[in-house]
Structures are given as C-alpha cells and as structure tokens.
Chain A
Amino acid sequence: MTLFRGRRILAGAMTLVAAAALAACGSKTTDQNTSAGVTADVSGDTVKVGLLNSLSGTMAISEVTVRDSIMLAIEEINAAGGVLGKKIQPVGEDGASDWPTFAEKAEKLIREDRVAAVFGCWTSASRKAVKPVFEKNKALLFYPVQYEGLEQSPYIFYTGATTNQQIVPGLDYLKAQGAKSLYLVGSDYVFPRTANKIIKAYAEANGMKVLGEDYAPLGSTEFGTITNKVKSSGADAVFNTLNGDSNVAFFKEYKSAGLTATSMPVVSVSIAEEEVKSIGTQYLEGQLTAWNYYQTTPGAANEKFVAAYKAKYGADKPTSDPMEAAYVSVYLWKAMVEKAGAFDVEKVRQASDGITFEAPEGLVTVDGATQHIAKTARVGKVGADGLITEVWNSGAPITPDPYLKSYPWAGGLS
C-alpha cells in the first residue's frame, strides 16, 4: 500500500516532466527572435558597461588590478565628457575564480543589466566559459590578457597579445642570443600546453632542441624534481609558462639549485611587475620576460597612465601589461562607438577595423578581421628595483595572427 503510494508520487512527477517537455517541444519552432540578442539599454544619459573580474578566490590576486585599471579608464573618460555624450556607468560583478560563475554573471550583465559591453576575464577557462554566452546574446566582451591564440570570436575583442606577439618574438630573441636548446616548464592548463606546442614547432624549424617539457598542477608549489630535471638537461635557456603561485616556488628552487640568469636564463610570459613584487628580486634579478608593455616603457602616454594609476591606487602599486591592455580596451571601445556613432554591437564591430590609439605601450591598431590588436613585442629584464627594463623590442607593431597562418612552420598546429 505504502510502496504503491511512493510509486504514485514518482509516477506523478514523471508525468509532469513529460508534460513540461512536451509543452516545450510544442513551442520549439515558433520562437526565433528571442535568441536574437539583447539590445543594450542606452535610453538614459548614461551607458552601462559590465566589469567581470574575480574579486575573490585564487585569481583575485591578478584580476583585481585589472578591475582597478578599467575603473581608472572609465573615470578618465567620464571626466572628459563620456562616450557620445553619455557617462559610463560601470556594473561590477565577481567571477569568483569559478568558470560557471563567470558564465552566470556574464548572462546577468547582458540580460538583466543590459550593458553595452563587458570588460574582463583573465584565464582562458573563464573566457571559454563566457564565449558562448556572448555569442548567443550577441554582446561584446573586451578581453585584456595575453593568451594562447587559436580563437576568433565575432563578439570578443582581444586586447592582450596573441602568440605571435609575445611567444614567437620571445623565441626570436632567444635565437638571436644564440640559444640552441630549451627546457619548457609550465602550469598544467591550456595556455602553457598550447604555447609549448608552438614553441616546439618553432624550435624544430629553427634548429633549436627542446630538451624537456614539464607541467605542474595549477597552484603546485613543489618544484624539486622539475628543477633537478631542468638542471641536468643543461639547456641554454628555460621557457617558463608557469602561472601564479607556482612561479614563486619555482624561482626559489631554481636559485637554490645554483641556477642563475647567466648560467641558464629563464624567459617568462606570465610574470609582470605585480608578480615580481611577490616573488622577490632576490630570486628574479636578471631573468627575462616577454610582454608588450612595462611600467618603464618610455613615452608620454605611459607617463600619464602610470602617474594617474599611482595617484589613484598608491605609489607602491606597479602597472603591468594586462592592466595596461585592460585600460586600453576601454578607450578602444570608446573610439569604436564614436566612429560608429552608436552603441549597437554590430555597428561597433563594423567600425572597429583600423581604429588606432596612442596607448601607454605605444601605438596600437585594431585589426577588424581578427578583432585582435596590432602591438609591439618587448623583452625585458628584471632589475634589482623590481621593475622590468626593456632589452629588445620588435621595432614596429606586429599584426595579430591568432592562428599563426603566416608562419610556415606552424602549419600543423591549428
């Protein structure tokens, strides 16, 4: 009797499910326009933009600084009259270092707040998580961090470097310095693994040897074995794609093993000024980094940016490449909107090609075809004061090539 009752409840629930599913099927074909994207709300005298960064969790360390520099750009633009006569009203969200949360918050910014554009994300994983959300809603994301390439979404503008603007120039530099063999060390996630594939293809085409390749789980702080392997390999240089905390442990171990910037230099692509501060110059002095911007990059635009940043957030706060790229992204969006004469996403996209901006890193140009930007590559050396000084640059902005189509050796990669 009782069991029967239980079954009836269960059966009832199942019927409901089936009914609901059927109801949904019925309306499946009728509704097409609902998925056609959400128009931004620009009716008032302000325009909302979304800021989507991790303010809590493991990624907060890096992403908070990006949030700060986006806010700086918005304040500057508002002080100068806003965009198309409207003040920018930032709506901040916390991605909490959790990828599904990023997707959820992106959806909220687009659908509930009806923002005109979103600035943010840091890790590839968070970008991959929100990408379908932006594409589905036909909304814009400005992504400010160097990344592994192999992506070109019509609804994302990539203002950080792609691989041919950071990794390839870094390799060019090493080759010019006479490095014949490399050891690859990286965190176990998308960027390092993809970067290392490119590096291996490059090395093969340029007569360099890759003597080893090791990955540490994200957040890992145990580098005894990897350092042993690196040391015994006798490579000319190490290409380091480790992320975050792991860098601290790696460089401490590296120095303890008696390896130095002169005996075996390390080129890092995830260590900017902020990270130098937390690792310590004791361990980093003389090591190399590859970026597009350093706090020390010369030029009036940068002097103004650094001064404004320090005035707002404190004299001890360094500026770094992702912060600069985030700062620039807001200005680029402003220029696109003004050229288009509207906040409409499709019009903004169409207007984007050829937009230029005198950025702290130098002149940058939006490439409408890839929605990446042309930027100058720079290799720098960590000094005793914790700042990075440029030792080489590419001379001119490099056209973005996220799929490395113009590099014959990269044929098998994408």
Chain B
Amino acid sequence: MTEQLHGLYVRDLRVSFDGFTAVDGVSLDVAPGDIRFLIGPNGAGKTTLVDAVTGLVKATGSVRFGDRELLGRPVHRISRLGVGRTFQTSTVFEELTVLQNLDIAAGARRGWATLLRRRHGVPDEVAEALEVIGLASRADQLAGTLAHGQKQWLEIGMLLVQDARLLLLDEPVAGMSHEERDATGQLLEQVSRDRTVVVIEHDMDFLRRFARTVTVLHAGKVLSEGTVAQVQADPRVQEVYLGHPVDAGTAPTATEA
C-alpha cells in the first residue's frame, strides 16, 4: 500500500447526555500502525468514545486522524476520511450476499453512473478482501446465513474495502470460539500492517495475545495506558477492577476462566 499510515490523536474529549458526562476529558494518542485495545468496566465510556470519534454523538475537544480534525463533520464525511467502525452487534446486511456487502462497502465514492448499472464480476479490492477474511468460497451466500464469527470477519472485510485507514472495532470476538478468536487475531495483525486499529474488548486472553498497547478507561477518564505488561502492573487498574466485583472476571490480573 502506498498510502501513508496515520495515527489517532484525541485531546480533552468530552461527551455528556442531559447532565451525565460519559466521556470526561479523555486524551490519548494511537500511533500509526498500532493495535490499541480500550478496556474498562461497563459504563467507562469506551463505546461513547468511539461514537464521538465517528460523529455519532456530539462532543467537545479535538479528535484528529493524521492531520484532519474529525469533530463537527457528519458521519458519512468522517467515514470518507478513512475512519471505519464495527458495532457490538453485527450489522452486516443480512438480506444481501457477502459479495454485495463488500461491494457496497467498496463503493462509497462511486458516481451515479456506476451505481445505476449492474455489477459485473468482482472488483479487485473486493476479491482481495474476500481472500483476506477467508470468505471467498461464500461470496454468493446471503450474509444473514453466515455463522457469527464469519459475520464479524465480513464486517472487518467491509472496512478493508472501504479503505478505512483507522479501524475502530467494538468487541469483535464476543461470542466467538477459540479457533475463531485466533483467526480474528491473525486477521488484525495482518490488517495492521498498513492500518491503525483500535479494539474495544473484554476478553483478556485475546488482549494479552494480540494487543500492542492498552488504554484503560474508568468513569469517562483515562486511568492507565501502556503495554499489556505495564497496564497489568498498574496498581490503580487493579484497584478499580477489584472495586467492581462484577467485572472481576475481566480484570487484567484475574486468572482466565
């Protein structure tokens, strides 16, 4: 890929809903080509942070991707700047085939002349993505009939053909089997060669294996940041997680289930 890698730079980001502040002055830098994991107890503001970056909720502060300011732009404009995301629940178009899903994702810059014509064959970037996500043999299957893990890969594939340079993934491996998790992790590593990846995840085993850096959020603020080992050693992180028995199972220090 010839395109340059960019980083994500968040400064003093704040989001509030009717007096409740969900994200309270977060600043963080994600280096180009990083795989950054965002963790934190429920309600820490992880998803809201991603919502703010992608323009879904109004926020104050500054979010730059490379040298472009994202805040204040409408959702589809931010998307066209190369910022792509997935949701906790899979949102592939179930009534369309895998190929059609990818083709739509690849086509945001198409003009009406192209749109109003039928698709012939498979565009190169779509074929490439089909190989990367391992769904080439299922290209003509309805997305709704895919297994759960396959849907998540399709979503990632859609971000690839969309030519997203920043991938924001919200719990991509939730509900996946061990084999699927491994495959997903390898997919992320492959993808991050020419892209920047941010992952919200609760699965600590997955995090330890594939995270390059980690940011811990708590009550809308950054609690800790660093490599997996650094964060695990941070006493504040341990305190927060021990103070929330519900989340104890997901705490970095806890043993795996």
Contact = CB atoms under 8 A, between A and B. Distances in A.
**Chain A–chain B contact at Cβ < 8 A:** yes
B178 interface: no
Contacts of A414: none
A89 to B, nearest CB: 56
Interface string B98-134: 0000000000000000000110100000000000000
Contacts of B117: 2-3
A3 B113 CA distance: 11
**Dominant secondary structure of chain A at its interface with chain B:** helix
Interface in B191-244: none
Contacts of B120: 1-2
Nearest to A5: B118
Contacts of B118: 2-3
Q: How large is the interface on B (under 10, 10 to 19, 20 to 34, 35 or more residues)?
A: under 10
B137 to A, nearest CB: 25
A3 B119 CA distance: 10
Interface in A2-42: 2-3
Nearest to A6: B118
Interface string A33-74: 000000000000000000000000000000000000000000
Contacts of A3: 117-118
A266 to B, nearest CB: 55
Interface string A91-119: 00000000000000000000000000000
A152 B203 CA distance: 87
A32 to B, nearest CB: 48
A185 to B, nearest CB: 50
Contacts of A1: 120
A197 B19 CA distance: 63
B143 to A, nearest CB: 23
A3 B118 CA distance: 7
Nearest to B118: A2
A50 B235 CA distance: 95
B81 to A, nearest CB: 32
B111 to A, nearest CB: 15
Nearest to B117: A3
Contacts of A2: 117-118, 120
Interface string A192-232: 00000000000000000000000000000000000000000
B119 to A, nearest CB: 9
A91 to B, nearest CB: 50
B112 to A, nearest CB: 13
B117 to A, nearest CB: 5
B223 to A, nearest CB: 56
A167 to B, nearest CB: 60
A1 B120 CA distance: 9
A367 B7 CA distance: 95
A3 B117 CA distance: 6
Nearest to B119: A2
A385 to B, nearest CB: 64
A8 B120 CA distance: 18
A6 to B, nearest CB: 8
Nearest to A1: B120
Interface string B48-79: 00000000000000000000000000000000
B148 to A, nearest CB: 34
A4 to B, nearest CB: 10
B40 to A, nearest CB: 51
A1 B117 CA distance: 10
A2 B120 CA distance: 8
A2 B114 CA distance: 13
A151 to B, nearest CB: 52
A249 B120 CA distance: 64
6 contacts: A1-B120, A2-B117, A2-B118, A2-B120, A3-B117, A3-B118
Closest 6 CB pairs of A and B: A2-B118, A3-B117, A3-B118, A2-B120, A1-B120, A2-B117
